[in-house]
Amino acid sequence: MKVSELAKAYGTTPDTVRYYTRLKLLNPIKSENGYKYYPPTEVSRFKFILSARQLGFSVSDIQQIVDEASHGKAACPLVRALIKERLAETEKQFLAMLKLRENMSSALEQWECKEDKAPTSTMVCHLIDSFEPLNEEEPSDEK
């Protein structure tokens, strides 16, 4: 398969295929005309990369995994370790987004009935300046 065929076959873009190829994650065969051709083993590797990306692995993670496997070792322990890390990060980001989302919609609501005001030398926008976050800190277990 050629670059664009491979991309189309899996619903991505030629640039993505080229990107992985630049990083040597994919190793196509160069034909006489200079085009890259991806044999079945490379096609299945591409499928693998896409699956791993969908699971939240970074491209650098995938490089490590592929490297491990290319030495004949089972990459499974590494894969398990990495996904724990990535899951923890995702959890953190997820909570941050949750809070951000709450604050944003709270702001939108608070601003609904506020008037416009012209700026001053010390105030760019009174809406943003006056915004009160919902719950700055959970009361946790304070009695």
Partner DNA sequence: GTAGACCTGTGTGTAAGACACAGGTCAATA
Partner DNA sequence: TATTGACCTGTGTCTTACACACAGGTCTAC
Euclidean distance between CA atoms 61 and 63, whole angstroms: 5
Applying CB under 7 A, which of residues 11, 24, 33, 109 lies at the interface with DNA? 33
Q: Which residues fall within 8 angstroms of residue 91, CB to CB, at 6 or more apart? A: none
Residue 45 interacts with DNA (CB under 7 A)? no
Judged by CB under 8 A, the stretch of 3-11, 16-24, 30-38, 64-72 that binds a copy of itself is 64-72
Query: Nearest approach, Cβ of 98 to a copy of itself (angstroms)?
Result: 7
Cα separations (Å) of 21 from 11, 14, 25?
17, 10, 6
Written as one letter, the residue type at 31 is S
Percent helix, strand, coil in the chain (nearest 5)? 60, 5, 35
Q: Which does 126 bind (CB under 5 to 8 A by kind): a copy of itself, DNA, none?
A: a copy of itself
Q: Which two tokens stand for residue 6?
A: 């491979």
Indicate the residue among 13 and 101 with the shorter CB distance to a copy of itself: 101
Euclidean distance between CA atoms 48 and 28, whole angstroms: 15
Q: Which two tokens stand for residue 136?
A: 């700055």
Residue 126 interacts with a copy of itself (CB under 8 A)? yes
Indicate the residue among 11 and 118 with the shorter CB distance to a copy of itself: 118
Query: Nearest approach, Cβ of 1 to a copy of itself (angstroms)?
Result: 15
- Residues of this chain that interact with DNA (CB under 7 A) are 2-5, 12-16, 18-19, 22, 30, 33-36, 53, 58-60
